[in-house]
Structure 1
Amino acid sequence: MSGVLNTVDQRTNLVGENRLELLLFSLNSRQVFAINVFKVREVIKVPPLTKMPGAHHHITGVASLRGASVPVIDLRAAIGFPPSRQEDIEENLIITEYNRTVQGFLVGQVRNIVNTAWTEIQPPPKTAGRANFLTAITQIKEGDQTEIVEIIDVEKVLAGIIDYDVSISDGVLDEELMAQMVGRNVLIVDDSSTARAQVRGTLSQLGLNIIECRDGLEAYTLLKKWCDEGKVVTEELLMMITDAEMPEMDGYKLTYEVRNDDRMKDLYVTLNTSLSGSFNDAMVKKVGCDRFISKFQPDLLVEVAQDRLRQVLSQ
């Protein structure tokens, strides 16, 4: 499985097709969970773990993988499940890369990979409350049975373990631009409330007004509404910052639709995703984003906003 998961060409085949691949697994319960295959490096049996004194209580230890130390997070505990009562339970380790960091998630049985469309992915029910650790749900058919699959909001899991600081470093802010920033609108599009809060917390320090959408379809509907009302999108927005993987319409499809509508084709689009590397470079070129940045880099986020404003002021 690990070799397949690292193939850039295979992953870019889905660009603009509004599709995704999900890795299904259990947490030794009846429920079926999933994460995006794009973020998975490999799946292995649990190796010997070294305990870390003083580590977060959801980190069960550190695994040594090909000379690298990888922290291992007990995903069952991290999303609030009680300890499993089963004996001789199956355990596996899903090695992932999020936000330029590598970590392992301790899970139960790892089932298979399914290919589906983002249109089949729905936000979790509002009755689930804000404290849930789901970013979306979907359904899959296994024979004659239909199962509900719960997609984990990994960014929220990690935010509860890793302290992401949204403060801006000295020397990053261009004081001459600050007055020009105040009141300008930025549209952020992300299905993770944690990710939206971190972008909002960073850019609001510049005096920017933040408009939020939870998925690509919601954002595209808003942009089309503005166009239908006769508004000029590039005058309404300094820029749009979008996640890549979202329910109903992903960020690549959103960008593709924006670029193919003459009324909004010049909107400045930054892809802000937990994915990284040559894979995303290929994605950006294919769908036509203006910039790509990995998530949770406040200084870089500020630099992108400032660069865009300089561009606008020079026109």
Structure 2
Amino acid sequence: MSTLINEIDARTRLAGANQMELLLFHLGTGEVFGINVFKVREVMKLPPLTRVPEADSRVLGMANIRGTMVPVIALRRALGLGEQDVDLTKPECKENGILIITEYNASLQAFHVAAVDRIIRTSWSKIKTPPALVRENNKGAVTAVTMLDDSRMVLILDVEKVLSDICPRPDEEVYAGLDIRPELKSKCVLFADDSSVARTQIRKALEKMGIAFVQTTTGKEAWDYLTELAEDAVKQGLPQVNRIQLILSDIEMPDMDGFTLTKHIRSDPRLAHLPVVLHSSLTGSCNQEKGAQVGATDYVTKFDPKEFSQKLTRYIL
């Protein structure tokens, strides 16, 4: 286990163009699941847990991880795949499974899984969007898939969706302070994000600000749309695209990540003038530095509506 932890600690510092690493794990149901290593802070045996009265049934309890109280989520239960037998009186028992400690939006969560497998490195071009029936299912948490060399499919989870389902926040709280500004009504934002939760947040925020938008689900889909806009501009005798005023892009996306999308935009003179703001739950400084290296205008963490509004307004006007 210590070898795997050391491997994760080292690899979370990596940020490559259109490259990503997945931690593979199992829930005792036969499927192989994956999570981006950048989001993993630690892998450990199940420690003693403190049950929380009247907590959501998907929350096993709280764990004290070196002085930090971390909620422990029963991932198999949260995904509707049944129960995993856990004897909380014997946390040292191997059969009780493993915790994957993750960081999302500057907070820690632990996901209880049956076992971890290994880390694989792959290209985002090999990470594919699942069929629409799976992707758009409101109860679905599979944001992407990829294939292993032995032809097994890896289901990559939208952990933001899992967390949102367990602890939803009312719109009045999430979008507090966002108001329509008349000077923004003529503006249009193109955004790309593979998370259904993030897309909903972005869409509602832009609507409350009175900004028009074009929604895409992957970097490649966004790039294809931008290419069409650029070709239309040329046909109209325009040197630059003027139908959108800003691009908001997630970093992690199937087919093409946000770093690669930004590089493509900066290399095309018809698009290079457009502000590109990266919008991600990956809070590490290495991701912000990588974004600056490929030409991103700025970086905003999911989901801070005040920061979101301030940065978009700064670059769109």
TM over 0.5: yes
1:111 equivalent in alignment to 2:117: yes
Pick which of 151-160 and 279-288 moved more.
279-288
- Are the aligned partners of 2:86 and 2:96 in contact in 1 as well (CA < 8 Å)? no
Counterpart amino acid of residue 123 in structure 2: A
Matches within 5 A, 1:1-315: 1-7=4-10, 10-12=13-15, 14=16, 16=17, 18-84=18-84, 89-128=95-134, 130=137, 131-141=139-149, 145-166=150-171, 167-170=174-177, 178-230=181-233, 235-309=242-316, 312=317
Contact 2:278 2:296 in 1 (8 A): yes
Contact between 1:92 and 1:107, CA under 8 Å: does it hold in 2? yes
Please say which of residues 128-137 and 192-201 is displaced more in the overlay: 128-137
Please say which of residues 122-131 and 250-259 is displaced more in the overlay. 122-131
In structure 2, the gaps of 5 or more residues are 88-93
> Tell me, which stretches of 5 or more residues in structure 1 are unaligned?
none
CA distance in 2, matches of 1:9, 1:136: 20
1:281 partner letter:
Q
Q: Report the alpha carbon displacement of residue 54 of structure 1 after superposing the two structures with TM.
A: 2.6
Aligned residues: percent identity?
36
Q: How far, CA to CA, are the matches of 1:168 and 1:308 in structure 2?
A: 20
- The amino acid that maps onto 1:265 is A
- 254 and 165 in structure 1: CA distance in 2 versus 1, 3 angstrom threshold: farther
**Matched letter for residue 58 of structure 1:** R
Relative contact order higher in (CA < 8 Å, ≥ 6 apart): 1
Amino acid aligned to 1:98: Y
TM-score (normalised: structure 1): 0.89
Q: TM-score, normalization: structure 2?
A: 0.89
How far 1:302 moved relative to its partner?
0.9
Q: Runs of 4 or more off by more than 6 Å in structure 1? A: 85-88
What CA deviation, in whole Å up to 9, does each residue of 1:165-221 have, x standing for no partner?
554444x75x7xx11111421111001111100111112101111211010000001
Determine helix, strand or coil for the equivalent of 2:166.
coil
Separation in 1 of the partners of 2:56 and 2:308? 28
Aligned residues: 300
